[in-house]
């Protein structure tokens, strides 16, 4: 009890044969039953109990105890030595009393002095690296986008969310909505962790024909419940209030693995017109499995694809399955399976690959050999990318902008996790192969607040702009055509007064476009090995990594994906990220950066004879 400063009264009593220690402050009293359990009695509860967090603490178990067996304890890293930030824990509205039980937190931890009752929670930004125009949660942890769907003029972005700390845990579906894919409004979490497990990734469809029986146009979410007790099982929930709240189906789960697979998750559901049925694609360890259903509740196994395909060894996660015209020809459509892989990707950790082929309602036939890997993005921070359902005539994917190697330890506090800009997908052919381009959506042009038109520049040696804008908070876009006349290097450096820089250049000799963040700012964070689990559903158990080498690196893509006479570059910088789109997304590359001051200077350089930059434009971006 030593550190408890706010104690107004304190007593010792013997409760159930155990020594209990009681203290209280305004409206709250703590009954410590040793170090393993504290019962928090609250009179006239406010809206929230504010919980003090210390990220290095072990997880305590915090439960609103209503006596219902469905009460679920949340894992919370309550402060033991010092308070880093607070998270709000909602208390029952209008109640006279509430009881919260907290397990596994020592009776002398500092949190007991700092826990507070409050009707408000301040979400004013405190993070230096919070992006200006990318979607982030207001607070807490975010990973994969989930259940993205368009309905009645709104884009819904649900996401893997921990409302009780900025590290992975307590998976809920957080929720934001947008009318234009760019401006997002934060809403309350839509689906909360429950006794069946964490609410893992999944998808949402609009049930236009009322196949599930919850009404025409009900939103139906399919997600994975993940727990040690029940494993990974697919569950369903429905919403009849435009996605604000969901009711879980009373007979969950709707699908369990027939072979007891441990990794069986992330259902993506789509309507398959020729069979007039719903199909679900689920990641099943090192393959994807298809199921079909007429009512979204009863699912039948169809087939599997993927063993031995793409980068090896692999763990398939977060699938999507879409059909797109090749080179814009509506009479020549192909199916594409999107597969998110972790770990073991080209630059380490997680990334997104895809396979092009045909589907006849039974089997997916990939048109390339198993050893062919095609990447949707060539950076290191593009993961769990899936598409928005119910978009007419468009496929738009949204990634999570991080990598499991270091996602839990990026130098951010109040929140962790951002989405990459939405990308419009299309198929093009090159050298007899079909590839998928991922270009930033046209809606992103609404971010342009100021334009600086430079025009054409003859480039031999270097061309410098000491100030990209008189002041920048690190949120801008650069657009240009590079017409190389060299067989060596041509490119640019974004840098700040501290000499931190990110380099983006074409290495014509190697036939690559490269983004180099080795000297981009903070590149080694998290001293000790932190979890980025892959073995099972728990993202915290893991092996160790070397942060320095995992973050401080250059990523590259083959220029052979482009036509090659000149290269159109569209580069988006936003505080802690750089995204490049080359030639309408034939190459997309997404990387995090952590400069300690914004890059406000720009240097172009070219080796060899005079090359040209054309149509150089710089835009200051904002919401
Ligand atoms: C991918 C993933 C999914 C899983 C979720 C858990 O990043 O591992 O497979 O559903 O994250 O948060």
pLDDT number for residue 530: 42
Domain CATH code at residue 68: 2.60.120
Residue 15 clears pLDDT 80, i.e. is over it: no
> Which one has a higher pLDDT value, 14 or 113?
113
Closest C-alpha to 457, from 621, 617, 620: 617
- What are the start-end ranges of the E strands in 152-276? 154-162, 172-178, 184-191, 198-207, 218-227, 231-239, 247-248, 264-272
Give the residue, out of 140, 142, 160, 420, with the most ligand 1 atoms within 8 A of its beta carbon, to mutate for a pocket test.
Answer: 160
What pLDDT is stored for residue 520 in this prediction? 97
- Ligand 1 centroid to Cα of residue 317, in Å, is 7
Instruction: Give the pLDDT confidence score for residue 588 in this predicted structure.
Output: 98
Residues 106 and 193 in one domain: no
What is the arithmetic mean of pLDDT over 273-281?
98
In a domain, 79, yes or no: yes
What per-residue confidence (pLDDT) applies to 544?
A: 38
Q: Average pLDDT of 5-30?
A: 57
160 Cα nearest atom in ligand 1: 12
Rounded to whole angstroms, the Cα distance separating 41 from 217 reads: 43
284 lines ligand 1 (CB under 6 A): no
Residue 352 falls within a domain, yes or no?
A: yes
**Which ligand 1 atom sits nearest the alpha carbon of residue 201?**
10
Structure confidence at residue 23 (pLDDT): 67
What's the 247 CA to ligand 1 centre distance in angstroms? 22
Averaged pLDDT, 149-161: 98
Whether residue 488 is found in the same domain as residue 573:
yes
Regarding the beta carbon of 102 and ligand 1, being less than 6 Å apart is answered no
Q: Where residue 201 sits, what CATH number does that domain have?
A: 2.115.10.20
**The pTM is what?**
0.94
If asked whether residues 506 and 390 sit together in one domain, one would say no
- Site to substitute for ligand 1 among 141, 142, 144, most atoms within 8 A of C-beta: 144
- In a shared domain, residues 453 and 572: yes
**Residue 2 is assigned to a structural domain of this protein:** no
247 pLDDT tier (thresholds 50, 70, 90):
very high
Whether 299 and 405 share a structural domain:
yes
Q: State whether the beta carbon of 263 lies less than 6 angstroms from ligand 1.
A: no
Q: What is the pLDDT of residue 281?
A: 98
Residue 9, beta-bridge partner list = 24
What is the structure's pLDDT at 548? 54
Single residue among 396, 424, 440 that ends a domain in this structure: 440
Looking from the CA of residue 200, the nearest atom of ligand 1 is 10
User: What per-residue confidence (pLDDT) applies to 343?
Assistant: 87
Q: Is 21 in the pocket of ligand 1 (CB under 6 A)?
A: no
Do 195 and 332 share a domain, yes or no? yes
Domain boundary among 388, 412, 440: 440
pLDDT value at residue 152: 97
Residue 487 DSSP class: S
pLDDT at 535: 34
Of 306, 557, 569, nearest in space to 435 by CA: 557
Model confidence over 73-121: pLDDT tens digits?
Answer: 999 999 999 999 999 999 999 999 999 999 999 999 999 999 999 999 9
DSSP string, 245-278: --EE-TT--SB--TT--S-EEEEEEEEEGGGTEE
Residue 524, pLDDT score? 83
Q: Is residue 162 lining ligand 1, measured as CB closer than 6 Å? A: no
Domain boundary among 118, 149, 164: 118
Same domain for 355 and 385, yes or no, is: yes
Active-site pick, 75, 113, 144, 266: 144
Do residue 33 and residue 151 come from a single domain?
no
C-alpha distances in Å from residue 20, one per residue of 1, 51, 99, 182, 235 = 11, 22, 16, 53, 41
On the question of pLDDT at 322 being above 60, the answer is yes
**Does the CB atom of residue 285 touch ligand 1 within 6 A?**
no
User: Tell me, what's the pLDDT at 19?
Assistant: 54
470 pLDDT tier (thresholds 50, 70, 90) = confident
Cα–Cα distance between 59 and 103 in angstroms, integer? 9
- Cβ atoms of 276 and 310 closer than 8 Å: no
Same domain? 75 vs 145: no
Number of domains present in the structure of the chain: 3
Instruction: Report whether 399 contacts 590 (CB < 8 A).
Output: yes
The model's confidence at residue 609, banded by pLDDT at 50, 70 and 90, is confident
Is residue 538 one of the residues assigned to a domain? no
Q: Is the CB of 385 under 6 A from ligand 1?
A: no
The answer to whether residue 537 is domain-embedded is no
Checking if the pLDDT of 310 tops 80, the result is yes
C-alpha–C-alpha distance, residues 87 and 74, integer Å: 12
Q: Residues 247-258: what's their mean pLDDT? A: 98
pLDDT of residue 525: 74
Q: How far is residue 220's CA from residue 296's CA, in Å, rounded to a whole number? A: 8
Tell me what the pLDDT averaged over the chain comes to: 92
pLDDT band at 515 (very low <50, low <70, confident <90, very high): very high
Where is pLDDT greater, at 14 or 471?
471
Look up tokens 């928090």; give the residue.
Answer: 40
Residue-wise pLDDT for 374-383, tens only, equals: 999 999 999 9
Domain that holds residue 289: 140-440
3-class DSSP state for residue 86? strand
Clarify whether residues 276 and 407 are in a common domain: yes
**CA 197 to ligand 1 centroid distance, Å:** 13
User: Of residues 161 and 405, which shows the higher confidence score?
Assistant: 161
The preferred substitution site among 145, 197, 265, 281 for testing ligand 1, maximizing ligand atoms within 8 Å of CB, is 265
Q: Does residue 170 share a domain with residue 145?
A: yes
Question: How many angstroms separate the alpha carbon of residue 281 from the centre of ligand 1?
Answer: 15
- Please report whether residue 3 resides in a domain: no
Residue 126 in any domain: the answer is no
Q: Which residues pair with 282 in a beta bridge?
A: 289
Distance from residue 455's CA to the centre of ligand 1 (Å) = 44
* CB of residue 200 inside a 6 A radius of ligand 1: yes
pLDDT of residue 526: 62
Angle among Cα 224, 228, 230 to the nearest 5 degrees reads 55
Q: How confident is the model at residue 178 (pLDDT cuts 50, 70, 90)?
A: very high
Give the range among 473-487, 499-513, 547-561 with minimum mean pLDDT. 547-561
Could you tell me if the CB of 160 is within 6 A of ligand 1? yes
Same domain, yes or no, for 228 and 337?
yes
User: Where does the pLDDT of residue 500 fall: very low under 50, low under 70, confident under 90, or very high at 90 and above?
Assistant: very high
- CATH number of the CATH domain containing 584: 2.60.120.560
> Using one digit for the tens of pLDDT, what is the confidence trace for 395-439?
999 999 999 988 998 999 999 999 999 999 999 999 999 999 999
pLDDT one-digit tens code per residue, 521-544: 999 876 544 443 333 344 433 333
pLDDT value for 477: 98
What HEC string does 509-550 produce?
Answer: CCCEEEEECCCCCCCCCCCCCCCCCCCCCCCCCCCCCCHHHH
Q: Is the pLDDT of residue 16 over 90?
A: no
Which of 239-265 are b and which e, b meaning 16 or more Cβ less than 10 Å from the residue's Cβ?
Answer: beeebebbebbeebbbbebeeebebbb
Q: What is the pLDDT of residues 22-81, one digit of tens each?
A: 766 779 999 999 878 999 999 999 999 999 999 999 999 999 999 999 999 999 999 999
Task: Give catalytic status of residue 320 as yes or no.
Answer: no
The beta strand positions in 273-368, using DSSP E, are 277-284, 287-293, 300-305, 316-326, 329-341, 351-359, 364-366
Closest CA to 32 of 120, 101, 123: 101
Tell me the backbone φ, ψ of residue 253, rounded to 5 degrees.
-85, 160
Q: How many whole angstroms from 200 Cα to the centroid of ligand 1?
A: 6
- For residue 46, what are the contacts with CB-CB under 8 A and spacing of at least 6? 27, 91, 117, 118, 119
Share of the chain above pLDDT 90, in %: 87
pLDDT at 1 over 90: no
Compute the distance from residue 537 Cα to the ligand 1 centre, in Å.
8
Burial classification of residue 377, based on how many CB atoms lie within 10 Å of its CB (0-12 exposed, 13-18 middle, 19 or more buried): buried
How many Cβ atoms are within 10 Å of 108's Cβ, its own excluded?
13
In the predicted model, what is the mean pLDDT of residues 263-274?
98
Least confident of 7-11, 18-22, 203-207, 527-531: 7-11
Is the CB of residue 542 below 6 angstroms from any atom belonging to ligand 1? no
What is the pLDDT, as a whole number, of residue 24? 67
Residue 228 lies in a domain: yes
- Pick from 7-16, 562-571, 593-602: least confident: 7-16
Helices (H), 69-169: 111-114
């Amino acid at each position: 009890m030593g550190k408890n400063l706010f104690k107004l009264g304190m007593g010792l009593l013997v409760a159930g044969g155990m020594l209990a220690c009681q203290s209280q402050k305004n409206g709250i009293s703590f009954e410590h039953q040793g170090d393993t359990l504290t019962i928090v009695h609250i009179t006239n509860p406010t809206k929230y109990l504010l919980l003090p967090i210390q990220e290095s603490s072990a997880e305590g178990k915090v439960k609103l105890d209503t006596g219902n067996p469905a009460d679920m304890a949340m894992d919370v890293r309550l402060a033991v030595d010092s308070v880093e930030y607070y998270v709000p824990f909602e208390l029952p509205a209008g109640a006279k009393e509430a009881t919260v039980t907290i397990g596994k937190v020592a009776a002398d931890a500092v949190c007991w002095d700092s826990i507070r009752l409050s009707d408000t929670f301040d979400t004013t930004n405190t993070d230096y690296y919070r992006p200006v125009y990318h979607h982030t949660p207001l607070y807490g942890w975010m990973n994969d986008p989930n259940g993205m769907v368009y309905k009645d003029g709104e884009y819904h972005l649900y996401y893997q969310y921990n409302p009780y700390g900025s590290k992975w845990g307590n998976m809920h579906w957080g929720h934001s909505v947008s009318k234009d894919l760019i401006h997002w409004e934060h809403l309350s979490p839509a689906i909360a962790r429950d006794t069946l497990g964490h609410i893992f990734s999944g998808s949402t469809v609009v049930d236009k024909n009322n196949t599930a029986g919850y009404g025409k146009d009900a939103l139906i979410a399919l997600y994975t419940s993940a727990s040690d007790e029940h494993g990974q099982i697919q569950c369903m929930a429905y919403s009849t209030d435009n996605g604000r709240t969901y009711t879980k189906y009373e007979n969950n789960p709707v699908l369990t693995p027939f072979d007891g697979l441990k990794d069986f998750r992330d259902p993506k559901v789509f309507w398959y017109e020729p069979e007039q049925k719903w199909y679900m694609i689920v990641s099943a360890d090192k393959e994807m499995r298809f199921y079909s259903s007429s009512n979204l509740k009863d699912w039948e196994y169809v087939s599997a694809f993927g063993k031995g395909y793409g980068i090896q060894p692999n763990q398939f996660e977060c699938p999507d399955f879409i059909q797109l015209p090749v080179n814009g020809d509506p009479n020549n459509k192909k199916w594409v399976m999107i597969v998110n892989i972790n770990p073991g990707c080209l630059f380490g950790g997680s990334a997104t690959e895809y396979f092009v082929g045909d589907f006849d309602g039974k089997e997916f036939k990939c048109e390339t050999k198993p050893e062919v890997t095609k990447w949707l993005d060539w950076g290191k921070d593009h993961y769990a990318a899936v598409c928005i359902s119910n978009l007419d005539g468009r496929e738009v994917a949204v990634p999570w902008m991080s990598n499991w190697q270091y996602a839990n330890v990026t130098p951010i506090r109040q929140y962790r996790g951002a989405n990459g800009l939405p990308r419009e997908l299309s198929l093009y052919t090159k050298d007899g192969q079909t590839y998928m381009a991922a270009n930033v959506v046209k809606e992103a042009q609404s971010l342009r607040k100021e334009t600086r038109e430079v025009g054409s520049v003859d480039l031999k040696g270097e061309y410098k702009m000491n100030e990209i804008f008189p002041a920048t908070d690190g949120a801008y876009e650069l657009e240009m055509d590079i017409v190389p006349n060299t067989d060596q290097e041509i490119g640019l450096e974004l840098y700040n007064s501290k000499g931190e820089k990110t380099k983006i250049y074409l290495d014509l000799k190697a036939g690559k476009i490269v983004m180099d963040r080795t000297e981009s700012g903070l590149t080694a964070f998290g001293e000790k090995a932190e979890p980025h689990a892959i073995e099972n559903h728990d993202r915290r158990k893991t092996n160790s990594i070397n942060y320095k080498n995992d973050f401080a690196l250059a990523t590259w893509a083959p220029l052979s994906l482009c036509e090659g006479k000149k290269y159109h570059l569209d580069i988006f910088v936003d505080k802690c990220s750089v995204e490049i789109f080359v030639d309408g997304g034939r190459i997309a590359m997404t990387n995090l950066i952590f400069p300690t001051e914004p890059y406000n200077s720009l240097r172009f350089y070219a080796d060899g004879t005079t090359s040209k930059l054309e149509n150089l434009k710089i835009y200051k971006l904002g919401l």
